[in-house]
């Protein structure tokens, strides 16, 4: 995570009685997810304000997003700002990804954590989503609000607070964490004070992104994305949107990495099915559907191909300590 955003988290934690920003100020450079999670753990200790994440996102300032904050401020439209967030959010945090899903009338700006669900507090997600609303208000004005907001988790605090902060209806237990925005609002253009400066900042951000990604291949990026994706409904278009790649570019990059979308999806299904067999009591039919297969028979054929044994035999062996 970038130091700017980590300091914003630490400031919110200190305001909630949970931490000292100086602890992060001394760290320098980027911080690990585990370090920042520790600050959230303190902020959400006994007696803490359950709305701390929502309030942190609502108070977000451009400096907390570093170069991404400048790119948002220099965008000609909310849509361009959303595309910048989609491409460069990783410079701020590698714990999740942002995807812009355009529709004819309504579009969605989706936030997908890529860490294990149990390792991220709901308030961390709320801080990101509320921060996206704040960033939109930098461009559209303080009274701007999305058409709706959704969270995958249940409401853990004062539900009217969400409506007051976000300015719109809020749904919990939804399929995705997202802002819903009229597409016409995304495309409404505004004057940019210095387009040349924005272009310079974009080149700088591209360099930072290249340094951050380093030798990580496109195939590895797809694997990472699939590890957190809902495999029962995922499509190549979803990962193309997340990686900002066209259809041909993705196919070519995967071919150069010696693999394909089909092979990576099969690999992800194998890993997810094995995890569910090890860690849950779900029936094989439910596991099959969770990984995008038609039913227990399809899972049996696929799992035997993957593992050399049936799902039931694998589960029994795992629980007996033989796998």
For 292-315, what is each residue's pLDDT tens digit?
999 999 999 999 999 889 999 999
pLDDT of residue 27: 45
pLDDT of residue 145: 97
The pLDDT of 146-173, averaged and rounded, is 94
- 151: pLDDT strictly greater than 50: yes
Contact criterion met (CB below 8 Å) for 144 and 34: no
DSSP state at residue 308: S
pLDDT of residue 48: 74
The secondary structure element, H or E, covering residue 150 is: strand 148-150
Give dist(CA 264, CA 314) in Å, integer.
Answer: 22
Q: Among 235, 112, 129, which residue's Cα sits nearest to residue 175?
A: 112
Higher pLDDT, 216 or 157: 157
pLDDT tier at 38, thresholds 50, 70, 90: confident
Count CA atoms within 13 Å of residue 80 on its CB side: 20
HEC per residue, 50-62: CCHHHHHHHCCCH
The pLDDT of 112-125, averaged and rounded, is 82
Q: What is the mean pLDDT of the chain?
A: 87
The DSSP bridge partners found for residue 96 are: 113
Identify the sign of the CA torsion 79, 80, 81, 85. Answer: positive
pLDDT tier at 122, thresholds 50, 70, 90: very high
Helices (H), the chain: 3-15, 21-25, 33-43, 52-58, 67-73, 78-92, 122-140, 159-166, 183-186, 195-213, 218-226, 236-243, 247-256, 261-279, 284-290, 296-307, 311-319
Show the tokens assigned to 299: 């899972």
Rg of the chain over CA atoms, in angstroms? 21
Strand order in the sheet with 96-101: 96-101, 106-113, 177-182, 148-150, 170-171
Give dist(CA 251, CA 255) in Å, integer.
Answer: 6
- 182: pLDDT strictly greater than 50: yes
Lowest mean pLDDT: which of 22-31, 89-98, 241-250, 296-305?
22-31
The pLDDT of 16-21, averaged and rounded, is 50
pLDDT of residue 107: 94
Give dist(CA 204, CA 71) in Å, integer.
Answer: 10
Contact criterion met (CB below 8 Å) for 10 and 40: no
Question: How far is C-alpha 40 from the chain's CA centre?
Answer: 17
Q: What is the pLDDT of residues 268-288, one digit of tens each?
A: 999 999 989 988 889 999 999
The pLDDT of 29-47, averaged and rounded, is 77
Q: What is the pLDDT of residues 79-91, one digit of tens each?
A: 999 999 998 998 9
Beta-carbon contacts of 72 under 8 Å, excluding residues fewer than 6 positions away, are 62, 65, 81, 84, 85, 135, 138, 139
Contact criterion met (CB below 8 Å) for 238 and 226: no
Q: How many CB atoms lie within 10 A of CB 258?
A: 9
pLDDT of residue 49: 82
Task: Please provide the distance, in angstroms rounded to a whole number, between the alpha carbons at the two ends of the chain.
Answer: 36
The pLDDT of 16-35, averaged and rounded, is 57
Q: What is the pLDDT of residues 184-201, one digit of tens each?
A: 999 999 887 788 888 899
């Amino acid at each position: 995570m970038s130091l700017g955003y980590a300091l914003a988290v630490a400031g919110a934690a200190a305001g909630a009685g949970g931490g000292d920003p100086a602890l992060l100020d001394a760290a320098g450079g980027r911080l690990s997810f585990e370090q920042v999670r520790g600050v959230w753990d303190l902020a959400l200790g006994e007696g803490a304000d359950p709305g701390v994440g929502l309030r942190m996102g609502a108070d977000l300032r451009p400096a907390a997003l570093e170069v991404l904050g400048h790119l948002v401020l220099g965008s000609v439209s909310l849509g361009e700002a959303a595309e910048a967030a989609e491409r460069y959010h990783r410079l701020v945090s590698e714990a999740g990804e942002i995807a812009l899903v355009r529709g004819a009338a309504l579009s969605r700006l989706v936030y997908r954590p890529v860490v294990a669900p149990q390792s991220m507090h709901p308030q961390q997600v709320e801080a990101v989503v509320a921060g996206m609303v704040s960033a939109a208000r930098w461009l559209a004005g303080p009274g701007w609000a999305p058409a709706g907001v959704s969270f995958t988790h249940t409401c853990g605090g004062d539900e009217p607070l969400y409506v007051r902060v976000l300015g719109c209806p809020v749904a919990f237990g939804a399929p995705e964490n997202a802002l819903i925005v009229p597409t016409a609002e995304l495309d409404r253009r505004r004057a940019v004070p210095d387009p040349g400066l924005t272009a310079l900042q974009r080149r700088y951000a591209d360099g930072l992104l290249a340094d951050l990604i380093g030798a990580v291949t496109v195939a590895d990026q797809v694997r990472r994305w699939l590890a957190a994706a809902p495999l029962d409904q995922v499509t190549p278009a979803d990962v193309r949107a997340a990686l900002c790649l066209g259809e041909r570019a993705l196919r070519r990059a995967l071919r150069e990495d010696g693999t394909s979308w089909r092979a990576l999806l099969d690999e992800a299904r194998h890993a997810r099915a094995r995890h569910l067999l090890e860690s849950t009591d779900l029936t094989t039919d439910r596991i099959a559907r969770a990984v995008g297969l038609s039913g227990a028979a399809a899972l049996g054929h696929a799992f035997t191909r993957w593992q050399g044994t049936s799902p039931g035999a694998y589960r029994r062996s795992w629980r007996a300590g033989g796998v």
